Every structure is written in C-alpha cells, then in structure tokens.
C-alpha cells in the first residue's frame, strides 16, 4: 500500500498513519481497543535517509537461555555502529518505540509484526539524527558507539509474565537486561560516557530504565538519559473518557509491569499511574532531558481524539491538519498543553534536568535528521535540538526551554495528514 493511500484511510477511520504509526481501532466487549504499530513513515519523511549509514541487525543469541525473548519467543536484537577516535569509549543506546499491546488480541496480532517478532525485523536500518555517523549531522555523538535496541515486547521493555494459552511471552525486562549484558561484553563496560535515549514508547522505557542504566557504570562515568516524545499524559479525550489510562491499565495488568516500576512511586500511587511519565519522572534520580512537542501529534490523534471518542467525525478535519481547527478545538488543545506544563513544574526546577518543549504538532524529533539538526531544524532560544541536548549533556549549558503557545513558533515541522 502506498504512503498516500495509508494517509487517505484516515478519513474512513479504519487504519491510518499517525506520525509514523499505524492505528488499528476495533471494538471488544464494548471497549475501544488500540494496537499501535510503528511503520516506516518517520524514516520516509527524513530527506537524508537514502544517504544514511545502514547498520545490520544482530540477534542476542544468549537471550533465549535467560527467557529474554520477543512476544512470539524469537530472539531480540539490536543494531550497533562502533565508535571511533575520541568516541571509542562513549556509548549511546537508543530504545526503539512503537506503541504497546494491551490485551491478548492485540498482542497476538503484534506477534505478526516486527514489534513482536524478530522474524519480521529489517536486517538493516538507517542511522539518522542522533544516530548519524556524520559530524555535520550529529556533532556531539557522531563518533560514539551508537546502538538501536529493537522493541518487540509491547510494554516499553518492562513486562515480566507470559500467557501460555496464547503462546505470548511478556519479557521486556529480561530483554533489557540481556541487551545490557551483551553490550557490556561488547565494550560498554569501559564507557566513560553514556547516554540512554528513546522515542515514544522507547522514551517511556528510557524513564523506566534510566536509573538502572546509570547503575551499570562506575560513579566516574558520565551517564545521562534523553526521553523523546515519551511524556504521555493521563488526560481526558474529547468525550471525557480516559482512553490513554484505560489502555495503559491493560498493558500494566497483562504484562505485570508493576514488578519493574519504582517502589517509591508505587508506595504513593497505583501501578497504572506509575506507568505515566508525569508520575514517574520525579522518581528518576539520574540526569534526564525531556524532548517533547507540546501538541504531540501521536497523543492528539490516538489519545485525545480517538475514533471511539468522536463517532460523528466532527474532529476529523482538525485532527488531519491543526490549521483546520476551530477556536473551541484550539482551546481544547491549548488545555492539553497547559496540563503538560503543569505536570512538568516540579521536574523543571531540578538543577540537572533538561527541557526542550516546543509548540509543534510533531512526534519523535531526535531520530529525524531534519528535526535533530539541519538548516531548517526547529529552534528554541535560537538552538536546534541537537545543540541543546549536547550542551546539556556536556554541561556547556543547563538547557531548559518551554515554547510560547501555538501558533507563535514558525520553526516547527508540523505533521499534516491529507
């Protein structure tokens, strides 16, 4: 199916592309059930992907004996491009995103995709943006050991259970541990600098595992974390329902995610609440940078305005293109931004925190070259994302910037579906 056709299906409410995602909406026992599967649109939108370094997939052969397997029982994998020169002992680990599965049906379907089985993973992927090996595209991390850890468990690398009847393995936590052990054996144990990053579901995983990652290294190593488009809000949709909370509750319960959430959070809140970044973020002790669009296009499409919350399609035009939103719809979206800023208040006061919150309709800005660093990159205080993150990581500048409200930012790359 062509990209144009995928986007056109938006209008019919069946399967549609959302900022690099495909949303499959259906009804089960009266509830809207969503299976979020990332597709290739994010890569396709990157103008430099055709010239990008292609990096081979490596399966973690030792994972099977540890029970660290994908949903279908296949081996997990990663892509590694070795560092060189001054970056030979520096490591960047990128946790892949791609949504979640929240019940048996959606997880069984996910087994037939690269988000649930390494049988369907690409054998090579392009390294762009924060993974680029070109100094002009990625000045601070281009010569580091750069790794993309593939996502095939459906719970942000945090599940710890199984369902024998459905032949489903929920082993995200074990995949995380097996990957760390494998990379340590590849030289990461000698790292003097390390950065854990991730986009979307991988951005949430970065928050969950940030302190674990830091604890892999001696205190003398500089270790920080970057969460891109991972700040999912526990917000009401346009019908007043809690679509995102209901979906997260299914993920947490099905995959027993509570086993791997911070005890300090669980002592105060229920497990589903502790899976939400707004509650999780203040329990992360390692320096953390949050990169997020204030009008995150995935959340606008799938959490705030799912088809189940808008059966008459009154939001379709607005959802396809924010320029088509009427004043009351814009007011609702501004309310979402306000909720995000309120949720970030405590975090923003932390001395070691970093923030790049731009008022764009976008999603996953560190992996796309034209957003990470290019002549037309989004800017805050005159800085593109790559420079802001690098300044923060290397303590050149304690970068914290929150954009003014839409439509004031003319550097945005807003996603439009038509």
- 411: which 2 tokens? 């550097």
Would you call 72 a catalytic residue per the annotation?
Answer: no
- 220: which 2 tokens? 């003398």
The residue from 363, 366, 403, 413 that is catalytic is 363
d(CA 206, CA 230): 8
- 355: which 2 tokens? 């923030």
Q: Count H helices, E strands: the chain?
A: 15, 17
Would you call 160 a catalytic residue per the annotation?
Answer: no
Quick check: bond before 407 cis, omega within 30?
yes
- 136: which 2 tokens? 């002009």
Percent of the chain that is helix, strand, coil (3-state, to 5): 40, 20, 40
Would you call 308 a catalytic residue per the annotation?
Answer: no
The residue from 200, 273, 359, 362 that is catalytic is 200
Q: What is the CA radius of gyration of the chain?
A: 20
Q: 188: number of CA atoms within 13 Å, CB side?
A: 25
- 300: which 2 tokens? 């606008």
The residue from 153, 160, 296, 403 that is catalytic is 296
What is the C-alpha end-to-end distance of the chain, expressed in Å? 16
d(CA 95, CA 70): 15
d(CA 113, CA 106): 11
d(CA 49, CA 54): 9
Catalytic residue numbers, as ranges: 200, 296, 363
């Amino acid at each position: 199916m062509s990209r144009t056709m995928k986007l056109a299906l938006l209008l019919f409410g069946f399967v549609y592309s959302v900022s690099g995602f495909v949303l499959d909406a259906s009804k089960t026992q009266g509830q809207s059930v969503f299976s979020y599967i990332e597709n290739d649109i994010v890569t396709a939108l990157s103008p430099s992907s055709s010239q990008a370094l292609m990096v081979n997939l490596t399966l973690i052969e030792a994972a099977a004996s540890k029970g660290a397997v994908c949903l279908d029982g296949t081996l997990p994998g990663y892509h590694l491009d070795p560092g060189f020169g001054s970056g030979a002992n520096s490591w960047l680990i990128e946790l892949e995103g791609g949504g979640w599965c929240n019940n048996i049906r959606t997880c069984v379907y996910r087994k037939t995709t690269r988000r649930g089985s390494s049988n369907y993973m690409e054998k090579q992927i392009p390294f762009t943006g924060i993974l680029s090996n070109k100094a002009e595209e990625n000045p601070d991390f281009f010569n580091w050991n750069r790794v993309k850890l593939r996502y095939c468990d459906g719970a942000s690398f945090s599940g710890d259970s199984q369902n024998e009847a459905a032949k489903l393995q929920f082993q995200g936590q074990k995949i995380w541990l097996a990957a760390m052990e494998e990379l340590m054996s590849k030289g990461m144990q000698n790292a003097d600098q390390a950065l854990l990053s991730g986009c979307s579901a991988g951005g949430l995983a970065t928050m969950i595992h940030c302190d674990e990652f830091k604890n892999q290294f001696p205190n003398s190593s500089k270790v920080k974390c970057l969460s891109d488009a991972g700040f999912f809000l526990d917000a009401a949709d346009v019908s007043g329902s809690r679509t995102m909370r209901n979906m997260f509750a299914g993920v947490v319960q099905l995959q027993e995610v509570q086993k791997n959430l911070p005890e300090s959070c669980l002592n105060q809140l229920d497990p589903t609440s502790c899976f939400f970044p707004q509650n999780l973020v203040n329990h992360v002790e390692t320096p953390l940078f949050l990169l997020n669009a204030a009008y995150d296009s995935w959340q606008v499409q799938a959490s705030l305005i799912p088809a189940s919350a808008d059966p008459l399609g009154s939001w379709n035009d607005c959802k396809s293109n924010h320029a088509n939103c009427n004043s009351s719809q814009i007011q609702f979206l501004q309310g979402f931004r306000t909720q995000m800023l309120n949720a970030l208040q405590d975090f923003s006061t932390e001395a070691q925190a970093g923030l790049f919150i731009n008022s764009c309709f976008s999603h996953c800005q560190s992996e796309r070259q034209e957003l990470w660093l290019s002549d037309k990159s989004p800017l805050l205080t005159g800085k593109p994302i790559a420079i802001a993150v690098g300044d923060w990581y290397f303590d050149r500048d304690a970068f914290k910037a929150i954009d003014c409200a839409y439509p004031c930012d003319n550097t945005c790359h807003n996603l439009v579906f038509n």
